[in-house]
Amino acid sequence: MGNLCSLFAPRPPPKPVKKKQPITKRQSSTGSRSGLNSNRVRSSSSRRDNKFEDAVIQEHALAAAAILFRQQNGGGSLPFDRSASQRYPGSGSKKNQLPRSSSSRSRSSTDPLLQPHQLLNQGVKLDDLETNHFVLIHGGGFGAWSWYKTIALLEEDGFKVTAIDLAGCGINSFNINSIASLSQYVKPLTDVLEKLPIGEKVILVGHDFGGACISYAMELYPSKILKAVYLAAAMLTNGQSILDMFSLKAGQNDLMRKAQIFMYTNGNENPPTAIDLDKSLLKDLLFNQSPSKDVALASVSMRSIPFAPVLEKLSLSDANYGSVRRYYIETLEDSAIPVTLQENMINSSPPEKVYRLKGSDHAPFFSKPQALHKLLLEIARITPT
């Protein structure tokens, strides 16, 4: 956890070095005084900008640390108030109500988190929603840590959020090379769903490989899942595997092929046990629109992807999997799962609604966190047909 925090920890501004001024006669030039005053104003403004940037970085570090703390302590609830590090007079936000962005400025390509004073109330209460519980499932090689911005935003709005480390991912200690099936890989998710109180339903959000994981869970526990959101994810059809999905994009882009490093723990004469990704290609493949600090976080946190689940074909039925309402969020600047491949999956198994995230790479929780948050709120508000 210390390493994660150190990535975001703000550096204190260097103390100004006092220079001895030569002894001269006092000059009454107003121009000289004006220049000094101007320098003071610029210096003060610079210090304010530095403090604001440091506060935002510190805020992100606290969010990441909170996730790891929660995971290391059995997944218990840990309150996290983003406004604790920055107070904005007159924000006036009310509990149990959902915000929307009211910023009139154009956002940057990295879509930084908006501050509380830039949010307005939409008059929708959490009590009016069918569920306020999101369960977030990371993609291949990622972990619960990747959702730290999304967790902070959802929890600030009063939602209950469970971010899961699948087997051998994040801080889960299972040996990634010994995972022999999709059920073994997804067990942390199915354990959470199995233990849900009677009558409680959740909204599943699956990213990347996590799409196949939530589909598997939907087949097993359809009565416990209200909605499923596929975020740049593998939305497979019955009898299809992750490998089948990627075979559809053969020849489109060889960046994924170049980045893959197969691991043969059982010897070269046997099938691979896991897939690693070349760290030097991570930014181009996954994070071409993401902030550098998030790319640094991912480069030291990502783990290998188990190979056996990639080969496994899903068994999905209309009665179970087909009974859950599905939504897809496309990422338009995605190099890992290009838009053409995302649209192929959408056309093969149309969801209830499709959303598009402009300017997002394969990791919208990094590159477009506020826009992603807004879409998740919109999906949560959709009432039964």
Distance CA 50, CA 114 (A): 17
**Distance from CA of residue 304 to its chain's centroid?**
18
Contact partners, residue 30, CB within 8 Å, separation at least 6:
none
The H-or-E segment that residue 379 falls in is: helix 369-381
* Burial class of residue 76, CB neighbours in 10 A (0-12, 13-18, 19+): exposed
pLDDT at 127 (0 to 100): 82
171-189 confidence digits (pLDDT tens): 999 999 999 999 999 999 9
**Active-site annotation, residues:** 208, 334, 362
The encoded tokens of residue 249 equal 């994009």
Q: Are 334 and 360 in contact (CB under 8 A)?
A: yes
pLDDT (tens place) for every residue of the chain, 385 residues total: 433 333 333 344 444 444 444 444 444 444 444 443 444 444 444 444 444 444 544 455 455 555 544 544 544 443 333 322 222 233 334 444 433 333 333 444 444 444 433 333 354 578 889 999 999 999 999 999 999 999 999 999 999 999 999 999 999 999 999 999 999 999 999 999 999 999 999 999 999 999 999 999 999 999 999 999 999 999 999 999 999 988 876 555 688 889 999 999 999 999 999 999 999 999 999 999 999 999 999 999 999 999 999 999 999 999 999 999 999 999 999 999 999 999 999 999 999 999 999 999 999 999 999 999 999 999 999 998 7
Number of helices followed by number of strands (H, E) in the chain: 13, 11
* Residues forming a β-bridge with 121: 99
Q: How many CB atoms lie within 10 A of CB 72?
A: 10
According to DSSP, the β-strands at 325-331 and 97-101 are unpaired
pLDDT at 253 (0 to 100): 61
Instruction: Provide the whole-model pTM.
Output: 0.72
204-221 confidence digits (pLDDT tens): 999 999 999 999 999 999
**Distance from CA of residue 167 to its chain's centroid?**
18
The one-letter amino acid code at 106 reads S
Q: Residue 330's closest CA among 316, 340, 315?
A: 340
* Largest Cα–Cα separation, the chain: 92
Place of tokens 């490989």: 209
Q: Are 211 and 145 in contact (CB under 8 A)?
A: no
CA angle 65, 80, 366 (to 5 degrees): 60
Q: Is 81 helix (H, G, I), strand (E, B) or coil?
A: coil
